Amino acid sequence: MPAQIKKYKAAAVHAEPGWFDLELAVQKTIHWINEAGKAGCKLVAFPEVWIPGYPYWMWKINYQQSLPFLKRYRQNSLPSDSNEMRRIRAAARENGIYVSLGYSEIDMATLHLAQVLISPTGDILNHRRKIKPTHVERLIFGDGAGDTFEPVVDTDIGRIGQLNCWENLNPFLKAYAASLGEQVHVAAWPIYPDKTTLQYPDPYTNISDGNSDIVSPAYAIETGTFVLAPFQRISQEGVAKNTPPGVEVETPDRYNGHTRIFGPDGALLAKPDKDFEGLVLVDVSPHSHYPKTPPPLLTPIPPPPNRSTSTKPTSPKPSPTSAVTTCARTLCASSSTPVAKNSSPTPTRTATSAPTVPWSESAWRRR
């Protein structure tokens, strides 16, 4: 259905999760939903696995060091059918707001990088799982499947899409979301260090700068969508919680300030300072990127003018048919089998201009 609300305020959450603490994580989630509601937002977007925080420690420690972290992380992951999720849904209903929530979902014995889109009535409109965890994420998370694959939902504020982390680089997932007419995209990112930590052969896409300032605007340009790209942030206390004994504790500055919001043309609309914690706000108009004066799909091109000024008679060029026939007779001159002369006349072609096709919104772009 076409968006019923043509312009509204949306928010990307740029805040610290409740590390390894499901109850604290739920309280923080409800807090930011309430804050978005007070700000008059119709949509609030959380980062990837906001509950109970992205396990960035798995990229920096060995298997033995990871086991205590993995146990606590699993114990504080969120079941989709739980009282904690019902409390979050109730907060969405009380504030009349759409909520895009990223969380570590525990389903029986498996964890998933999951996202839900919650409606202003508290209903879950979409539940999806990251189709393939990235690299060492497979130590912790299982794969998504076909029944949790759909990325786009049609709502009264536009068609809202969601993808997790490196899914935003996947050309097939982008093309699929675009084919569904996506208008507002939530590119949920985890917590990343900046380029000062980059060491060969680590790729540039494995740091915050590449994803916040290249991948996210590229998605906006390629799909013509508003892109909300929320990142997590971390405090010095949070770094300590994510660092095993005997390992040097990093500074949190390199992890903060990477949330972005981009317009459908890739223009940067909003970004936070490194020390900012809160909601990054933007006004969204799902149809604002349509051209005001749509061009025709085809422009008639007149035939070129006759530029010949010479009065010298020119000998007529042989038609393609007669040239082929002559060539065939020459090649077969030594053969006893006669070659029949092609007597069919050369067809006459008349130059015509391209027809004018009337413009229609559905033909220009289906939104």
248 is catalytic: no
Q: Calculate mean pLDDT across residues 292-309.
A: 47
What band does 208 get if pLDDT is binned at 50, 70 and 90?
Answer: confident
Beta-bridge mates of residue 226: 184
> Cα(67)–Cα(246) distance, rounded to whole angstroms?
15
* pLDDT (0 to 100) of residue 23: 98
* 246 pLDDT above the threshold of 60: yes
* pLDDT (0 to 100) of residue 127: 97
357 three-class SS: coil
What band does 192 get if pLDDT is binned at 50, 70 and 90?
Answer: confident
Mean pLDDT, all residues of the chain = 83
* pLDDT (0 to 100) of residue 35: 98
The 10s digit of each residue's pLDDT in 50-67 is 999 999 999 888 889 999
41 is catalytic: no
270 three-class SS: strand
- Name the catalytic one among 84, 165, 174, 182: 165
Highest average pLDDT, of 68-72, 306-310, 326-330, comes from 68-72
* pLDDT (0 to 100) of residue 207: 86
* 248 pLDDT above the threshold of 50: yes
* 130 pLDDT above the threshold of 50: yes
Q: Calculate mean pLDDT across residues 117-133.
A: 97
What band does 306 get if pLDDT is binned at 50, 70 and 90?
Answer: low
Is residue 52 reached through a cis peptide bond, with omega within 30 degrees of 0 on the bond before it? yes
* pLDDT (0 to 100) of residue 323: 42
Q: Calculate mean pLDDT across residues 80-94.
A: 98
Q: Calculate mean pLDDT across residues 256-275.
A: 96
* pLDDT (0 to 100) of residue 202: 82
User: What is the percentage of the chain residues whose pLDDT exceeds 90?
Assistant: 65
Q: Which of 12, 34, 172, 25 is nearest to 104 (CA)?
A: 25
> Cα(127)–Cα(243) distance, rounded to whole angstroms?
32
b or e along 163-191 (b: 16 or more beta carbons within 10 Å of the residue's beta carbon)?
bbbbbbbeeebbebbbebbbbbbbbbbbb
* 292 pLDDT above the threshold of 60: no
What band does 150 get if pLDDT is binned at 50, 70 and 90?
Answer: very high
Of 6-10, 201-205, 304-308, which range is least confident?
304-308
* pLDDT (0 to 100) of residue 303: 56
* pLDDT (0 to 100) of residue 300: 45
What band does 304 get if pLDDT is binned at 50, 70 and 90?
Answer: low
- Name the catalytic one among 28, 42, 130, 271: 130
Q: Calculate mean pLDDT across residues 29-47.
A: 98
Contacts of 360 (CB under 8 A, 6+ apart): none
* pLDDT (0 to 100) of residue 1: 66
Greater pLDDT, 321 or 134: 134
- Name the catalytic one among 28, 42, 48, 137: 48
> Cα(82)–Cα(87) distance, rounded to whole angstroms?
9
130 is catalytic: yes
The 10s digit of each residue's pLDDT in 311-365 is 455 555 554 444 434 333 333 334 444 444 444 444 444 433 434 434 333 333 3
* pLDDT (0 to 100) of residue 280: 98
